[in-house]
A = this chain, B = another copy of it.
Amino acid sequence: MCELLGMSANVPTDIRFSFAGLARRGGGAGPHRDGFGIAFYDGRAARFFHDPEPAAHSEIARFLGAHPIKSLTVIAHIRQANSGKVSLANTHPFSRELFGRVWTYAHNGQLRGVKKLPLEFYAPVGTTDSEHAFCWMLDQLRKKFDALPPPARLDREVHRLSAQLAPMGVFNMLLSDGRTLYAYCGKKLSCLTRRAPFGKATLIDADRSVNFAEETGPDDCVTVVATGPLTSDESWTVLEPGTLLALREGRIAHSIESKPQDAAKGVLKC
């Protein structure tokens, strides 16, 4: 299984502590030897680092560990290939432009039959089912809206599209347009909000801890989403399958859960 990491913050924030825990799973503590990628938003644009090499041995990952790139929104992914060969074209996160913004997406899971969904505007560059699903989602948003809709409206649409994809297999997903970070839990996703009073945190996968009280300001607010908890001494929330979180400025602005009738209609199966 791949590993996801997303961050939303209200002040430009250094992701290195959490990424260190994730990167160790990339061929070190975990079996994810098939590349990694990370996107740092800066306004409507994003800066990307991709490497088809295992994150635990990657020079790029080492560089990112040594040099903070502070950002309000980050999406990272380490890969264990299950669909599509190991190549740069198949390395998450994927990105496309829509409504004059860079959209970034990473997925954990498999989606059986997703490549039968027709595409109109966007085409995959690689061969993964993940990228096909991303292209389909953006196609649907492009057909529905003429321009970027108000946040609450986009939140509902992203949940509706995610709930359509989830029954095809496993769909744990991070998506951002630089304004909102979306996190959809198809099966396994956890989140944690760090705010005052800040305390100490210790990584599960690496011998490393940090005292956030020394690193942060009193008004800082950061929410981290990951496949599983990254630290052993903080209170992570395990998300319910079918839940979409819409994170803005470090806070959970909107949480949409699937209704039981969605599952009964076969819209959702997690």
Contact = CB atoms under 8 A, between A and B. Distances in A.
A262 interface: no
Interface stretch (A39-47, A156-164, A232-240): A39-47
Given A42-B89, A124-B100, A59 B67 contact: yes
Contact of A125 (B88, B97, B125): B97
B123 A87 contact: no
Copies in the complex: 2
A198 interface: no
A87 B43 contact: yes
Max chain B Cβ within 10 angstroms of own Cβ: one of A46, A48, A59, A89 = A89
A125 B45 contact: yes
A50 interface: yes
A201 interface: no
A122 to B, nearest CB: 7
A246 to B, nearest CB: 21
Contacts of A50: 47
Interface string A46-72: 111111100000011001000100000
A121 interface: yes
Contacts of A88: 42-43, 45-47
Interface of A: 42-52, 59-60, 63, 67, 87-89, 91, 96-97, 99-102, 121-126
9 shortest interchain CB distances as A-B pairs: A45-B89, A100-B123, A42-B88, A45-B88, A63-B63, A59-B67, A44-B125, A45-B125, A47-B50
